[in-house]
Structure 1
Amino acid sequence: MLGTLRSLRLTPAMIAGCYFVLSSGWILFSDRLIGTLIDDPARLAWIQTAKGWFFVAVSALLLYVLVSRSQRELERSNDRLDAVVQQTSVLHRVLRHNLRNTCNVIRGTTERLRSDTDTDTDVDDATLLSIVAEETDSLVELSEKTSRLRTLVLDERDHTTVLDLVPVVEASVERLRETTSNVEFRTDLPAHAPVEVHPRFELVVEELLENSLEHNTHEELRVEISVRTVDGSTVFEVSDNGSGLPEIEQDVLEMDVERPMVHSQGLGLWLVRTIVAASGGDFRMVDNDPRGTVARVSVSVP
Structure 2
Amino acid sequence: MDVTDLSRRFAPSGLVVAGLGFLLTRFTVTLAAYDDPVRFVVGGLVPLALGLGLSAFGVALVVGDFDPAFARTVVAWCVGGATAMLVLVVLTLVGNGTNFAMEPMRSQTYLANFLIGGSVGGALTGVYAGRAARQRRELERQTGRLEMVTRLLRDEVLNAVTVIRGRAEVLRSTHDTDSAAAIERRTDDVATTVENVKHITRDGDALGALDAVRVVPCVRRAVETVRARYPDARVTLDVAVDDDVTVWANPLVEEAVVHLVENAVVYSEAATPLAEVRVTAGRSAVAVSVADDGPGLPERQQDLIEREAVATYADRETGFGLNLVRLLAGSYGGSLSATVDDGTTVTLTLRRADATADDGADALSRRRLALVVAASLAAGGVMGGVVQAAGGGVPIIGALYGATSESVGWVTHEFHSVVFGLTYAALLRAVPSTVDERVRDYGVAVGLAVALWLVAAGLVMPLWLRAVGVAAPLPNLTVATLGGHLCWGVTLAGLYRHGSRWLSE
TM-score by length of 1: 0.51
Find 1:129's aligned residue among 184, 209, 223: 184
What does residue 67 of structure 1 align with? 121
Q: Could you say which structure has the higher helix fraction?
A: 2
Report the residue type matching 1:211 in the other structure: H
TM-aligned CA deviation for residue 205 of structure 1: 7.7
- The answer to whether the Cα contact below 8 Å between 1:208 and 1:295 also exists between their aligned partners in 2 is no
1-structure distance, mates of 2:287, 2:40: 65
**For 1:261, what is the secondary structure of its paired residue?**
coil
Moved more, 127-136 or 206-215: 206-215
1-structure distance, mates of 2:182, 2:240: 41
Q: Map 1:1-16; keep pairs closer than 5 Å.
A: none
Find 2:290's aligned residue among 238, 249, 252: 238
**For 1:283, what is the secondary structure of its paired residue?**
strand
**For 1:238, what is the secondary structure of its paired residue?**
strand
- Distance change (3 Å), C-alpha of 1:50 and 1:201: farther
What does residue 269 of structure 1 align with? 325
2-structure distance, mates of 1:186, 1:111: 40
Find 1:29's aligned residue among 24, 31, 37: 37
- The answer to whether the Cα contact below 8 Å between 1:112 and 1:118 also exists between their aligned partners in 2 is no
1-structure distance, mates of 2:120, 2:40: 28
Aligned pair 1:76/2:130, yes or no?
yes
What does residue 101 of structure 1 align with? 155
Aligned pair 1:141/2:196, yes or no?
yes
**For 2:346, what is the secondary structure of its paired residue?**
strand
TM-aligned CA deviation for residue 185 of structure 1: 5.6
- Distance change (3 Å), C-alpha of 1:236 and 1:210: closer
- Distance change (3 Å), C-alpha of 1:96 and 1:32: closer
TM-score by length of 2: 0.34
1-structure distance, mates of 2:187, 2:253: 29
**For 2:314, what is the secondary structure of its paired residue?**
coil
What whole-Å deviation, never above 9, does each CA across 1:5-28 have from its counterpart, x for those lacking one? xxxxxxxxxxxxxxxxxxxxx996
- The answer to whether the Cα contact below 8 Å between 1:207 and 1:272 also exists between their aligned partners in 2 is no
What whole-Å deviation, never above 9, does each CA across 1:231-282 have from its counterpart, x for those lacking one? xxx98622479xx89x9x9686245251442244355322366379976x84
Identity of aligned residues (%): 11
- Paired residues in the alignment total 227
- The answer to whether the Cα contact below 8 Å between 2:240 and 2:280 also exists between their aligned partners in 1 is yes
**For 1:70, what is the secondary structure of its paired residue?**
helix
What does residue 174 of structure 1 align with? 217
2-structure distance, mates of 1:132, 1:90: 27
Report the residue type matching 2:215 in the other structure: S
Report the residue type matching 2:346 in the other structure: A
Report the residue type matching 2:324 in the other structure: G
Moved more, 119-128 or 58-67: 119-128
What does residue 141 of structure 2 align with? 87
TM-aligned CA deviation for residue 60 of structure 1: 0.5
- The answer to whether the Cα contact below 8 Å between 1:224 and 1:239 also exists between their aligned partners in 2 is yes
**For 1:92, what is the secondary structure of its paired residue?**
helix
**For 2:320, what is the secondary structure of its paired residue?**
coil
Report the residue type matching 1:143 in the other structure: K
TM-aligned CA deviation for residue 61 of structure 1: 2.8
Q: Could you say which structure has the higher strand fraction?
A: 1
What does residue 311 of structure 2 align with? 258
Root mean square deviation, CA, Å: 5.6
